[in-house]
A and B are shown apart, each in its own frame.
Chain A
Amino acid sequence: MKKKSLFIILLLAVVMISACGEEEERTVTLLTHDSFWISEGVFQDFTKQTGVTVELQMAGDTGQLLASAILTASNPAADVIFGIDNTFLQRALDAEIFSAYESPALVHIPEEIQLDSQHRVTPIDFGDVCINYWIDSFDANLPVPENLDDLINPKYYGQLVVQNPETSSPGLAFLLATIAEYGEDWEAWWEALKNNGVTVTSGWEDAYEGEFVAGGGDRPLVVSYASSPPAEVIYSEIPINSPPTGVLTDTCFRQIEFAGIVNGANNQESAEALVDFMLSERFQEDIPNSMLMFPASVNAELPQIFSEFAEVVETPYMLDPEFIEENRNDWTERWTEIVLR
């Protein structure tokens, strides 16, 4: 029967594809999240320098990336993992999925973002989660709010949209910002915010593209990134000279993304070379345009659109990763009780 033979051919194809996995040339596998991308040619330069090819694997968002990495710890699929940030860092360290490597390129990286003293992870880039505002919605009568305190002012009733910290990474970062600011009193602030008509969505897409003015909604304040305004310029349909949105720089929580060499990596040497390369200027300077994040290295020059429109946040909120990991579930549960019930 034709049907049967066709099926056998397909089955053989499956087996053959799986058998072809072993390749002669040296490769290093980089596992990362879906938001990772780097310009064409950057990894090719790495191959030219070292003879090692980078094989890219993606595994959803940061939470999924970390969960996959922990699940496959006994038989790791990757040599290097990039994309776990400070809000999830401690969970990764506790699960012992990374091995220590102190890159010589770390001399160009500011001390304050090197969060692991044992160098099991290396900071690659950072960004700030901040309230964005739609410039045209504010004027002399209704000035732009400045800080977290202003947001609970009745003047701004019903204007803010935030994400659920239980299902969204900027949502969690913003909750952490308020905890960093108010300490024990954060619950009272959120209660006041709830009474001030805050809207909650499950994810960033729904908030920014649905509720925020930029996406056709009618709320002029949204939790997003400090790099969102330059993105509005880059991806504008009609070329514009300046972004229609701005950033409240006193509401920001800093997210730092790390790379780490996987415990039991097949290619230790190539993995180390890749981490070094990710700290090189070639890679670092490509980060802003490709991923809308800031490079970790002080040597990296920012592209014009970033130096012009991206707000550099001088004193963002930060919390110790260990402190976050210890309390996150309690915080988000309390938050759910206060804001959603």
Chain B
Amino acid sequence: MTLVKKLRWVALAAIPVLFIGAFFYWPLIKIFSHALGGEEIEDFKSLLFSGSFHQIAWFTVWQAFLSTVLTMVLALPTAYLMARYSFRGRRIFQIVTTVPFVLPTVVVAGAFTALFERFGLDEGAFRLRHTVWALLAAHVFFNLAIAIRTVSSFWSGLDPRIEEQAKLLGATPWHIFRKITFPRLIPVLAAASSIVFLFCLTSFGVVLLLAGPTRATIETEIWRQAIWRGDIATASSLAVIQLVAVLAMVLLMNYLQRRQAVVENRMDFVYEKAPRKLFAGNIFLLFVMIGLPIIILFESSLTVGDGYSFQNFASLADRVTLVPVSAITALKNSLLFAFVATIFASLLGCIASFVVVHGRRWVSNLFDIGMMFPLGISAVVLGFGMLISLDAPPLDLRSSWILVPIAHSLLGIPFVMRAVIPTLRRIDPSLRESATLLGASPRQVSRHIDFPIALRALSVGAAFAFAISIGEFGATSFLPRNPDRLTAPLVLFRLLGAPGETLRGQAMALAVVLMTITALAVILVEGSFFKKETIRSDF
């Protein structure tokens, strides 16, 4: 490489490094050094060897592990259907599976509680309320979307002829799956489950509300120590331990993903119509896992007194005396933040993905792992870190609204990367080689080959980044804020935080509107990018 090219490369890589350095690592370093300077090391040791910590850590890990396994297993049938068959209502499938992701945890917990009551599962022998099962169900509900979307988009790019040949040779479907399909899916399964695992490891609201007061995870324990006991030192120690666990996890997944990366010809084959049984089975599965809680939510948003009406929706424009802004204003704020966060996440995520795929080994690893970390850090600790680190020029952002979309984009970047990297890796080298042979410059190659292909994957990532931002509650609630800039989930939480039927009704209506907006955003984002033949038309 010439010097100029090298410099250009470094400059490109520096953009995400600076961003995540200033807004993630710097705050973390500040809070850890503030809380853990010197003699706290002894406390750290005693914490590490205390029985109650072991109990909490064990629960945290096994519930996250079980949630991830359940999510991945339940996602496979739908991912298969969406990857391999054509069917009516494909788009609706995509939307329905994305929506849960955006719902604020308070709402989901409420929907599940109502669901348990409806089916008599809140008490007695089949009690689900305040049990681990409720927590697992909610985790599957939240994360099924990520799993289905990431896996199916990768799966659809695998050459189906190999399976067809095996079938002709007499292999059973189970055999084909085990020996041919599954091994080729490992990279994407690793990618998807690493994200799901991180989410379950650090989930907060669902644990508090659904698992009941007797269960604690490291994340809720950090919150309890920092907020209720004012013990930032213990909270930070716990956050460090959590971070180490996250690092181990990310390294493992990174290894699996890399080892198994397959290069295949992307096939534009004609989709067969989905077999009726498969289709019906999937509908049933999704109905139970995702549909029921959402239906309950719709019902409670329409419930007024003993009957149904749209009154709750009509009142969204009014400001309730207890809450600084009307629900509509909060929605506008949320949309603006989500828009900015999506732009940040898409740009930075794309650059980072490019570096991961084309950079040297160590740079690539560093980027891949370094950008994943925000998903594994406690929101309380990051919020407090930002509070004490971004308090002086040039980054005096403590009272600025931009802090919210920045924090959201930190969570969105890993999603963009998970979507883009496997696709970039899979680009057939012969495609790039022939382009180079035909006289294309490296820049033309990336512009005409990498970029269009990445764009399609980006659309999935961007949709998730948007959904995350619009429904984000944890990190947002730990950032300082101006009352005019409250986001919709924060207002929703406030509405649920006071007695009175109208407030509860408004909260449910707001949740439904949030859900609808996300659905529309997904259609818009994916619709505008989803031009199928971009890859071939250039050649």
Which A residues from 46 to 77 make CB contacts under 8 A with B?
A: 55-61, 63-64, 66-68, 70-72, 75, 77
Which A residues from 219 to 257 make CB contacts under 8 A with B?
A: 224, 228, 231-232, 234-238, 245
Encode contact with A along B478-509: 1 for CB under 8 Å, 0 otherwise: 10111100100010011011111111110000
List the B side residues contacting A228 at CB < 8 Å. Answer: 499
- 6 A-B residue pairs with Cβ-Cβ distance under 8 Å, sorted by A, are A10-B344, A37-B321, A57-B480, A63-B228, A214-B499, A292-B498
Looking at the assembled complex, report how far the CB atom of B459 sits from the nearest CB atom of chain A, in whole angstroms: 15
B168-176, B395-403, B461-469, B515-523: which lies at the interface: B395-403
Q: Which of A31, A75, A208 is close to B391, meaning CB atoms less than 8 Å apart? A: A75
Is A202 a contact of B305 with CB atoms below 8 Å? no
Looking at the assembled complex, report how far the CB atom of B489 sits from the nearest CB atom of chain A, in whole angstroms: 12
Is A15 a contact of B394 with CB atoms below 8 Å? yes
Which B residues from 381 to 423 make CB contacts under 8 A with A?
A: 384, 387-388, 391-400, 402
Looking at the assembled complex, report how far the CB atom of A327 sits from the nearest CB atom of chain B, in whole angstroms: 13
List the A side residues contacting B490 at CB < 8 Å. Answer: 34
A residues contacting the other copy or chain, number (CB 8 A): 69
A113 within 8 A of B: no
Is A58 a contact of B402 with CB atoms below 8 Å? no
- How many Å lie between the Cα of A302 and that of B151 in the bound state? 61
A280 within 8 A of B: no
A17-25, A178-186, A270-278: which lies at the interface: A17-25
Q: Which of B209, B224, B227, B503 is close to A61, meaning CB atoms less than 8 Å apart? A: B227
Given known A-B contacts A6-B347, A237-B311, A231 and B397 have beta carbons under 8 A apart: no
List the B side residues contacting A14 at CB < 8 Å. Answer: 397, 402
Is B402 a contact of A17 with CB atoms below 8 Å? yes
Which B residues from 296 to 342 make CB contacts under 8 A with A?
A: 304-305, 311, 320-324, 340
For this complex, into which size category does the number of interface residues on chain B fall? 35 or more
A166 within 8 A of B: yes
Is A37 a contact of B323 with CB atoms below 8 Å? yes
Is B387 a contact of A68 with CB atoms below 8 Å? yes
Looking at the assembled complex, report how far the CB atom of B79 sits from the nearest CB atom of chain A, in whole angstroms: 30
- How many Å lie between the Cα of A166 and that of B214 in the bound state? 11
Looking at the assembled complex, report how far the CB atom of B385 sits from the nearest CB atom of chain A, in whole angstroms: 9
Is B399 a contact of A77 with CB atoms below 8 Å? yes
- How many Å lie between the Cα of A215 and that of B109 in the bound state? 14
Given known A-B contacts A58-B482, A289-B321, A71 and B208 have beta carbons under 8 A apart: no
Looking at the assembled complex, report how far the CB atom of B292 sits from the nearest CB atom of chain A, in whole angstroms: 17
Looking at the assembled complex, report how far the CB atom of B427 sits from the nearest CB atom of chain A, in whole angstroms: 19
Q: Nearest chain-B residue to A132 (Cβ)?
A: B499
Q: Nearest chain-A residue to B390 (Cβ)?
A: A18
Looking at the assembled complex, report how far the CB atom of A216 sits from the nearest CB atom of chain B, in whole angstroms: 7
A153 within 8 A of B: no
List the B side residues contacting A205 at CB < 8 Å. Answer: 106, 493, 496-497
B124 within 8 A of A: no
Q: Nearest chain-B residue to A237 (Cβ)?
A: B501
- How many Å lie between the Cα of A39 and that of B320 in the bound state? 10
Is B230 a contact of A63 with CB atoms below 8 Å? yes
Is A232 a contact of B500 with CB atoms below 8 Å? yes
Looking at the assembled complex, report how far the CB atom of A338 sits from the nearest CB atom of chain B, in whole angstroms: 13
List the B side residues contacting A18 at CB < 8 Å. Answer: 393-397, 400, 402
A137 within 8 A of B: no
Given A75-B391, A340-B213, 12 more pairs with CB closer than 8 A: A18-B395, A19-B393, A61-B227, A66-B230, A68-B387, A71-B384, A72-B391, A75-B392, A164-B213, A203-B208, A217-B117, A341-B214
A209 within 8 A of B: yes
Q: Which of B113, B227, B482, B498 is close to A56, meaning CB atoms less than 8 Å apart? A: B482
Is B110 a contact of A209 with CB atoms below 8 Å? yes
Given known A-B contacts A214-B499, A235-B499, A235-B503, A63 and B227 have beta carbons under 8 A apart: yes
- How many Å lie between the Cα of A72 and that of B383 in the bound state? 12
B477 within 8 A of A: yes
A35 within 8 A of B: yes
Is B209 a contact of A202 with CB atoms below 8 Å? yes
Encode contact with A along B96-107: 1 for CB under 8 Å, 0 otherwise: 000000000010
Q: Which of A21, A59, A237 is close to B304, meaning CB atoms less than 8 Å apart? A: A237
Is B224 a contact of A167 with CB atoms below 8 Å? yes
